[in-house]
A and B are shown apart, each in its own frame.
Chain A
Amino acid sequence: MNKLLKFCSLVDRANERIGRAAAWLGLLAVIVCAVNAVVRYAFNLSSNAWLELQWYLNAATFLLVAAWALKRNDHVRIDVIAGKLSLRAQACIDILGGLLMLLPACLIIAWYSWPSLVNSFHIQEHSSDPGGLIRWPVRLLIPVAFTLLALQGVSEVLKRIAYLRGLAPYPIEQHRQESA
Chain B
Amino acid sequence: MSLELMAPLMFGGLVVFLLLGYPVAFSLAFTGLFFGVVGMQLGLLHPSLLQALPERVLGIMANSTLLAIPFFTLMGLILERSGMAEDLLDTIGQLFGSIRGGIAYAVVFVGALLAATTGVVAASVLAMGLISLPVMMRYGYDKRLASGVIAASGTLAQIIPPSLVLIVLADQMGTSVGDLYEGALIPGLTLTGFYALYVLVVSIVKPAAAPGCPPEARTLRGRALALKVLTSMVPPLVLIFLVLGTIFIGVATPTEGGAMGASGALLMALAKRKLGWDLLKQAVESTATMTSFVIFILVGSTVFSLVFRGVNGDLWVEHLLSGLPGGALGFLIVVNLLIFFLAFFLDYFEIAFIMVPLLAPVAQKLGIDLVWFGVLLAVNMQTSFLHPPFGFALFYLRSVAPKSIRTADIYWGAVPFVCIQALMVTIVIAFPGIVTSHVSKAAGAIGGSAAEELRRQLGAPAGAGEAPKDDAAAQIDRMLKQEK
Point out residues on A near B: beta carbons under 8 Å: 19-20, 22-24, 26-27, 29-31, 33-34, 36-38, 41, 54-55, 58-59, 61-63, 65-66, 68-70, 72, 74-83, 85, 90, 93-94, 96-97, 100-102, 104-105, 108-109, 112-113, 116, 138-139, 141-142, 177-180
Tell me which of A55, A77, A79, A109 contacts B61 (CB under 8 A): A55
Q: How far is the CA of A171 from the CA of B57 in the complex (A)?
A: 30
Contact with A along B348-383 (1 / 0, CB 8 A): 111000000000000000000000000000000000
Query: Cβ of A54: which chain B residues have Cβ within 8 Å of it?
Result: 64, 67, 255
Of B90-98, B104-112, B233-241, B290-298, the segment with at least 4 beta carbons within 8 Å of chain A is B290-298
Q: Shortest beta-carbon distance, A39 to chain B, in Å?
A: 11
Q: List 14 A-B contacts (CB under 8 A).
A: A29-B71, A30-B259, A55-B63, A62-B291, A80-B345, A80-B390, A81-B19, A81-B20, A101-B27, A105-B29, A112-B50, A179-B121, A180-B120, A180-B164
Q: How far is the CA of A104 from the CA of B119 in the complex (A)?
A: 35
A61, B58: Cβ atoms closer than 8 Å: no
Tell me which of B57, B164, B347 contacts A76 (CB under 8 A): B347
Point out residues on B near A: beta carbons under 8 Å: 17-27, 29-30, 33, 50-51, 53-55, 57-58, 61-64, 66-67, 70-71, 74, 76, 119-123, 157-158, 164-165, 246, 251-253, 255-256, 258-260, 262-263, 266, 280, 284-293, 295-297, 300, 303, 345-350, 385, 390, 392, 396
Tell me which of B24, B291, B349 contacts A61 (CB under 8 A): B291
A27, B58: Cβ atoms closer than 8 Å: no
Count A-B contacts at CB 8 Å.
224
Q: How far is the CA of A85 from the CA of B390 in the complex (A)?
A: 17
Nearest to B54 among chain A residues (CB) is A113
Q: Shortest beta-carbon distance, B121 to chain A, in Å?
A: 4
Tell me which of A37, A41, A74 contacts B293 (CB under 8 A): A74
Query: Cβ of A112: which chain B residues have Cβ within 8 Å of it?
Result: 50-51, 53-54
Query: Cβ of B385: which chain A residues have Cβ within 8 Å of it?
Result: 180
Q: How far is the CA of A112 from the CA of B346 in the complex (A)?
A: 31
B54, A26: Cβ atoms closer than 8 Å: no
Tell me which of B33, B263, B347 contacts A31 (CB under 8 A): B263
Which of B22, B123, B252 has most chain A Cβ within 10 Å? B22
A37, B252: Cβ atoms closer than 8 Å: yes
Given contacts A61-B288, A78-B18, A81-B21, contact A108 B64 (CB under 8 A): no
